[in-house]
Structure 1
């Protein structure tokens, strides 16, 4: 892609990055969001506001840490809802948050640095009273009240956006839950899916993760839903259909922040060929114990492999025990969570990625851009989109620890010239994901989303007679849609809410009548029992949706349905007679 001129990279309007918080041990999502925002500032001349909604009171210190690391630059601001509701100047010191249990409920008080009450958050009560949030001035007089947290969030976003157009890129899946329901005239909403969307192993037909259901079961509520890889977008289309607002924008290569850093290729000859590094949170999903086992197997085969692990998390004790049990205490180092962990890739020979699932792991781009050869499980999503097996890295079957060990041994025993070619190819692969190309693609997606946002909604429609039948192994649906324009497309949503099972299919609309017949595989995926049914009508960029309610499939075979229908008609005729 050839980038536009700098001033045309992004459309005119405010740029917002919507996340829930900036954690101290920030992971890949936060890092990708901040890097994208910096590239918007640097390449497109935009100013970016990062909006956060958590109640931490030390955001001045957060900003100082990010500025010291070069992750917060002029033109990139971090703004927090409660900090702005308190209205404290930057040098007034942090506020406080006090939670008190009172009769039939909980009161959370957000106080200013001077002790005055700024916000009172009254949590829902058992007697049915809903949540209420009240803002106070410095004399503690109420000045604004909201009957829900989401209403408060939406008002703040509207205040931040101002009167002109704004583009809100929603990174956090927590924030996506309420942003899916924020509809402001001048705010175009785009949701980035940073990780796998399925909770089970079934792919592409599988239950949505609980944290993803609100946003992804009805993706048309966003002006665009953006995936990091084409494979994930294709899987979502297979499961949920394409309402015309799905896009792919990869993460940019997270190269070293310091542009004056020396050329890493000069250090390749000094790398230990058997040195391994892992940068990952120490959680069950990351399966770092597989890396420990792979190093143990490699050493058992005569490879003097060593391992450095950067990260923290609840699996640390388990990993300590595994290292001790395998007699690896002298060759495995736990370096903890460090903001400069990526620099370890410039020293190590290979990196291992052992997760159960990913979105598009930034850690691979970080490694490849520094000439560190990636060895990754071929999981959804990301590794196969970044690595060409045997050329710039290696893909192995998910869970195959012996294959990880064999790949470590293979790289360690290569002639130096072959290893150098691997490292050069890894750097070249990472260079494909440059900032300019990625920002230009974001500009195209935002322009398309803005067109969709401005489209006039379709008039409301009604669902007439709805039938759901399952006489055998194929579910069949028929319904009448009243008020739907000729030529419109229809997506039928079938949902089992308790389990996260959602399937959406395009259906034929003829003279106001919808007919849908699922395959045996799709029918088995939906399972037994009643389903919640809904419809999305699409006419170009215009759309409307309606929920038809909960329907129990009729499982009677055709002869029984015909007989029952005849008896019913006969009964009605007798009553009329």
Structure 2
């Protein structure tokens, strides 16, 4: 399915649009605007239950945060105004709620028509165990009921029923995600269509969405592993784990940086269906020439969350004050950490040096006013706020974290990169910019030049290319996947040349065509020390024959090494640590190379 240059329906799928939103939604709306600019229209798809969306959309358009060519489609408002194609055969109810008499608890009206009810919420039964929400059209007819209850065994059940204007049930589902998937398919699954899912919360419910024509892509906006974990073997982030576990159900994953894509492919494979497309950024040149840049003014911009780590920026200010400077830090953003950050300023006696602005629509003006941006996040997918600062000539000083800063900053040219958590080094770079006007001016101009070239890139063409590749792969059929497994040593044989033969047994039978590798990792750094290909696969055991030199090569210099079994099938890859049978009487070798048994404890 080749995409037409004359017509394309581009759908950006997220959970909701609000009057104020962060980086992920900003990217979603800006990307939709670029598609609309090229094709005359584009769509943002949402699932929130708020009837305020038309008013929110109008406000966003007025503020320039959403193109007026972008159409916002909300599940509930679309069902209220347009008839959804019904199921060919509406399934019967598998369970019936036991409570019939429900009490009205809450009513929501349409903002533009307060006399018309949008939804009514009811509860009943022991401890309110049964609940029902009815959604109504402006004419008073019900278009959707959502009922939650306990069955006879006490298990949670749910029934969602979509009604036509004559009150006839035209579709029935046992979960909200099933409704979401069906509704999406009714208008997106056609040729010359692309679907990009931005919200990880929404993506977790769309893995099982089966499309016939349109490939579905998920865009990673943040790091996919938990904080501080190894890229190769560490625990996946809680939000991304269910998405990655269902990766064979997606037609492609899109990463913001090459570094994150490489880390993902190294661990999971799927090279053919893993892509890199950075975030868009609007060309944004301030016309207010009266804004004066202050040499001692710095900025920390972003949501005030634990991950953004603004406390580190405040500690940098404390260090600069200790050195005899008079810095002013502008904290622009809102979030749950604000009270703690204000308390930290009081503790460090920095009330006169730190200004909390809260959320602001004037972020470009703040950047234009400040000499440097302090970026202290603990992890990122891509830090769009770095580029927004560079656009205004504000020089970023950033922790060199996974994955975004090094893609936007050439150290010493258009910003500075310092080791994560190094407050002294960050203070050194900020001090240099504050005290050396020539350095600050030169780097400021280089920031503007870099951001200009970035904003001028044709990212829509890259999305079109990605969708074409994903569509072709989709047409070839289902993707092969390495099943989940554990790995243990089946046997160890000592060879005549002081080598070893290891037989490793996966816990499940591997599909035909699976290849096996023995991967040796440095325990501390998790770097690959050696990789050995299997010499055979016998009786469902992967066989590895290692001569003496190969064995010596597997020994780490400073730290112990750990063994993993890597299985690959096509583009699918899984790694598992190799263990032994769960037994408390296994032998071991003493320091004198003698064989012994330890007593059970």
User: Given the two structures, how large is their TM-score scaled by the length of structure 1?
Assistant: 0.79
> Secondary structure, in 3 states, of the residue corresponding to 2:472?
helix
Deviation, 1:449, is 0.8
Is 2:36 the partner of 1:16?
no
* Other-structure match for 1:282: 304
TM alignment of 1:316-331, pairs within 5 A: 316-331=338-353
Deviation, 1:166, is 2.1
TM alignment of 1:117-516, pairs within 5 A: 117-123=142-148, 125=150, 127-128=154-155, 130-161=157-188, 163-204=190-231, 205-256=233-284, 261-262=286-287, 270-414=292-436, 416-457=437-478, 468-469=488-489, 476-478=504-506, 484=512, 488=513, 515=542
> Secondary structure, in 3 states, of the residue corresponding to 1:107?
strand
* Other-structure match for 1:565: none
Q: For 2:222 and 2:398, how far apart are their aligned partners in 1?
A: 16
Deviation, 1:123, is 2.5
Cα deviation 1:148-203 (Å, max 9, x = unaligned): 22221111111122543421111110111122221110221111110011113123
Q: For 1:329 and 1:462, how far apart are their aligned partners in 2?
A: 56
> Secondary structure, in 3 states, of the residue corresponding to 1:433?
helix
Deviation, 1:396, is 1.5
Cα deviation 1:76-101 (Å, max 9, x = unaligned): 11111111122289965685344433
- Backbone CA RMSD of aligned residues: 4.1
C-alpha distance 480-313 of structure 1, shift in aligned 2 (>3 A):
closer
Deviation, 1:452, is 1.1
Q: For 1:50 and 1:247, how far apart are their aligned partners in 2?
A: 22
Deviation, 1:244, is 2.1
Is 2:50 the partner of 1:56?
yes
- Which one of 134, 143, 149 corresponds to residue 109 of structure 1? 134
Q: For 1:347 and 1:213, how far apart are their aligned partners in 2?
A: 41
Cα deviation 1:484-527 (Å, max 9, x = unaligned): 4xxx55699xxxxxxxxxxxx99869789673879899x99899
Is 2:71 the partner of 1:77?
yes
> Secondary structure, in 3 states, of the residue corresponding to 1:312?
coil
Q: Structure 2: which 5+ runs fail to align?
A: 83-109, 493-499, 518-530, 547-553, 588-601
Q: Tell which structure's C-alpha radius of gyration is larger.
A: 2
Contact 2:134/2:145 (CA < 8 Å) preserved in 1?
A: yes
Deviation, 1:407, is 1.8
Q: Structure 1: which 5+ runs fail to align?
A: 1-6, 493-504, 528-532, 561-577
> Secondary structure, in 3 states, of the residue corresponding to 1:56?
coil
Deviation, 1:478, is 4.7
Q: For 1:20 and 1:58, how far apart are their aligned partners in 2?
A: 14
Contact 2:189/2:214 (CA < 8 Å) preserved in 1?
A: no
> Secondary structure, in 3 states, of the residue corresponding to 1:277?
strand
Deviation, 1:223, is 1.2
> Secondary structure, in 3 states, of the residue corresponding to 2:51?
coil
> Secondary structure, in 3 states, of the residue corresponding to 1:304?
coil
Contact 1:16/1:51 (CA < 8 Å) preserved in 2?
A: yes
Q: For 2:384 and 2:462, how far apart are their aligned partners in 1?
A: 18
User: Given the two structures, how large is their TM-score scaled by the length of structure 2?
Assistant: 0.76
Q: Which moved more, 1:295-304 or 1:61-70?
A: 295-304
Q: For 1:45 and 1:347, how far apart are their aligned partners in 2?
A: 37
Cα deviation 1:411-457 (Å, max 9, x = unaligned): 0011x332211011111222332354322221211111111111123
C-alpha distance 324-189 of structure 1, shift in aligned 2 (>3 A):
same
* Other-structure match for 1:500: none
* Other-structure match for 1:530: none
Contact 1:508/1:514 (CA < 8 Å) preserved in 2?
A: no
Deviation, 1:479, is 7.9
> Secondary structure, in 3 states, of the residue corresponding to 2:73?
strand
Deviation, 1:275, is 0.5
Contact 1:471/1:557 (CA < 8 Å) preserved in 2?
A: no
Deviation, 1:12, is 5.3
Contact 1:10/1:446 (CA < 8 Å) preserved in 2?
A: no
> Secondary structure, in 3 states, of the residue corresponding to 2:183?
helix
Q: For 2:265 and 2:54, how far apart are their aligned partners in 1?
A: 42
C-alpha distance 70-102 of structure 1, shift in aligned 2 (>3 A):
same
* Other-structure match for 1:31: 26
Cα deviation 1:521-572 (Å, max 9, x = unaligned): 9x99899xxxxx9987438xxx9x9x9xxx9953579999xxxxxxxxxxxx
Contact 1:10/1:439 (CA < 8 Å) preserved in 2?
A: no
Deviation, 1:39, is 1.2
* Other-structure match for 1:570: none
Deviation, 1:124, is 5.4
> Secondary structure, in 3 states, of the residue corresponding to 1:329?
coil
Contact 1:489/1:509 (CA < 8 Å) preserved in 2?
A: no
Cα deviation 1:332-379 (Å, max 9, x = unaligned): 221111233233111211111111111101100100111000011111
C-alpha distance 37-324 of structure 1, shift in aligned 2 (>3 A):
same
